Amino acid sequence: MTPVLRAEQLSKRFGGLQAVQGVSFSVAPGEILAVIGPNGAGKTTLLNLLSGLYRPSAGRLFLGDRDVTSLSVEGRCRLGLGRAFQIVRPFPEMTVHENVTVGALFGTPGTRLHDARAQAWTLLERTGLIAHAEKAAHDLTLLQDKRLEVARALATRPRLLLLDEVMAGLRPTEAQEAVALVRSVRDSGVSVLFIEHIMPVVRDLADRVIVMDQGQVLAEGPYHDVTQDPRVVSAYLGTPLTEVT
C-alpha cells in the first residue's frame, strides 16, 4: 500500500548546524507514529520540514505518490497534511465554532460558509467541544484548547495529522483523554505523526516509534524494542526512558 507520507534523506542545515541529517521514513495509512528524542535532537525541525514551514537543504518528501518537496504549507495542507498549530493560532476573540469554521474554509478552498459551519459542528461533536461551541477561544481550559487545535486541524480534512507535543502541560487524567481523542482520530481513517516527551503517552498511543538523536534516526520500531535499545538509553544520557518526563 502506498504510504501516506514518505521522507527520503531529508536534511536541514542552519548555518553551521546540521539540525536534521538524512532522515528517511514513511507513515502507513492508519498508522500512529511517534517521534521521540532528547532535547535538540531535531524533532521540531523535522516536523517543520514535513509541514512545509522549512525547505530542506537536501532530500525529498512525498504525500502519497506526489512529490511535495517544493510545495508551500498551504499546498501540502490541501493535499491532506494537517498540523495542529499549522494555520494561525486560534483567534482568541472568536468562538470555538467560528475557529473551526475558519479551519474548514482554509483547508478546502471554495467551501461554502454554510457547509464549513456544518462541518465545524460535526467536528466539535467528535472532539468533545460541543458544549463549548459558543465560548470565546480565550476562555477554554488547556485541555479544551488542545481539543480545539485538533478540531481545527481536522477541519482541513487531513489524511495525516501532525501533532507537536500536544500533551504538554496536561494532567495525567487529561492526557488520557487526549490519548483517546488521538485514537479516535486514527479510527476515523487519519494517520497521525506526533512528537512527544511523555513516555507513557508514547507507549499507549504509538504503533511505531522513531528515535532521533543529533539530527539522525537512531532507532525505529515498536515502543518496547526501541526503549530497550542501548543506543537509545545512552542518547538519553543513561536515563531509562520509562523515567523520562
* Chain positions contacting ligand ATP, by CB under 6 A: 14, 17, 19, 37, 39-45
* Nearer residue to ligand ATP within complex by CB, 43 or 83: 43
CB of 15 to ligand ATP, least distance (A): 7
CB of 238 to ligand ATP, least distance (A): 18
Nearest 5°: phi and psi at 212? -105, 150
Q: Which three cell numbers stand for residue 77?
A: 495542507
* Nearer residue to ligand ATP within complex by CB, 33 or 140: 33
CB of 23 to ligand ATP, least distance (A): 11
* Nearer residue to ligand ATP within complex by CB, 98 or 229: 229
Q: Which three cell numbers stand for residue 229?
A: 535499545
* Nearer residue to ligand ATP within complex by CB, 33 or 105: 33
Taking alpha carbons only, the member of 126, 210, 198 closest to residue 166 is 198
Is the backbone of residue 72 left (phi > 0), alpha (psi -120 to 50) or beta? beta
CB of 55 to ligand ATP, least distance (A): 12
Rg of the chain taking only CA atoms, in angstroms: 18
